[in-house]
Amino acid sequence: MSAAPASDQPLKRTPLYALHVSLGAKMVPFAGYEMPVQYPLGILREHQHTRAQAGLFDVSHMGQAFLIGRDHATTAGALEGLVPADIASLKPGQQRYTQLLNDAGGIVDDLIVTRPISVDDGRLFLVVNASRKEVDYAHIVSRLPAAVMLLPAPERALVALQGPAAKTAMAQLSPAAAGLAFMAAASGRVGSFECHVSRSGYTGEDGFEISVAAEHAEALAQLLLAQDDVQPIGLGARDSLRLEAGLCLYGHDIDETTSPIEAGLAWSIQRRRRSEGGFPGAKRVQDELANGPKRKRVGIRPDGRAPAREGTEVLSPSGERIGIVTSGGFGPSVNGPVAMGYMRADYAKAGTAVNLIVRGKALSAAVTPLPFVPHRYARKS
């Protein structure tokens, strides 16, 4: 995790700011917001608590918005002109991970798309990254047909309940939500609050993301924190959790120069879209699917204890520059340094020995399969 670049604009606050302060959080600038990087428990213990029990994350800085058309086919068709995923086949209550692409096949942002369960069949719910939401909204609006409109929802907050005890905690407040399958979503009450809940998250653990009206966010968070085994978790542990899970962070592991295939995200492009195309950059994506990309995102395990941070050069044993680290740090669950980065395709095979240039010294490492920690999503509820 890295803080947002310096800006003359005042930092925004999420609806949970006062709660974070009352809980003793250390607040830092991130994506234009004051966000909790850690609580008194500390990043290491917050990470371990989420892996063993359940953590509550404030992700209200993310962008929430609705695409609205006259029916699902119209809205899905409009979005398929912007992303490579099959949106048309989404069933009510199903969500899908995808990417907004530019004309060169680079990733403008990655996002989650949900087809809500509602009478209004022409509505799609989008969640985009905090640092990109204004870029995303402008990108989408400029390319939508007249029959479809984008409606941002800044009046909503978003929290994520993650970890193996998340289902038990949710069951105390909403048995229906606790019974959702992985990547399914529904509206309903959590405690006394009307929410939109999905069985998803970005830690590699089972869990839920809960969208709620901003005025109810603090009361909902207090209700969740009152459940056994739930602790507040900051951005520091969120970053180490997603890194161990091999998940991309926008602006680090993916950006407008990176294709979904280079990034190891081919799994998010369904068969019909691979063959039909019809999305920005389809020629590049189809060519890389057929012939392989020139570089690939890989896991890297440094030998020893020194972490390899973002920007670390990766060299072949003979000294040739073959890649770069895009995310790196200490992995508490593996008790050692872990990293991700892009490697020239001919060096991207698991087990390949490489050298990392850390503080001017070449440190040995090896290409490693992702994720570093197995995912524990609720594939079957």
> What are the tens digits of pLDDT across the range 4-27?
444 578 999 999 999 999 999 999
| CATH assignment of 12-59+155-244, among 3.90.1300.10, 3.40.225.10, 3.30.1360.120, 3.90.1150.10 | 3.30.1360.120
Q: Which amino acid is at 236?
A: G
- Residue 317 confidence (pLDDT): 96
The pLDDT tens digits of the residues spanning 283-318 come to: 999 999 999 999 999 999 999 999 999 999 999 999
Q: How far is CA 231 from CA 166, 169, 343, in A?
A: 11, 11, 37
* Residue closest to 203 by CA, chosen among 231, 238, 165, 232: 238
Element spanning 297, H or E: strand 295-302
- What pLDDT is stored for residue 379 in this prediction? 80
pLDDT given for residue 5 in this prediction:
44
CATH class of the domain defined by 294-368: mainly beta
Per CATH, 12-59+155-244 and 294-368 having the same topology is answered: no
Q: Are 122 and 144 in contact, with CB atoms under 8 Å apart?
A: no
In this prediction, the residues of the chain whose per-residue pLDDT falls under 70 are 1-7, 380-381
Say how many residues make up the chain: 381
Measured CA distances, 350 to 255, 297, 303, 312 (Å): 24, 11, 15, 19
User: What's the CA gap between 350 and 372, in Å, rounded?
Assistant: 12
Please tell me the predicted confidence (pLDDT) of residue 6: 45
Report the 10 Å Cβ neighbour count for 292: 14
Phi, psi (rounded to 5 degrees) for 57: -115, 135
Q: What's the pLDDT score for residue 381?
A: 46
Please state the domain extents for the chain: 12-59+155-244, 294-368
d(CA 185, CA 56): 18
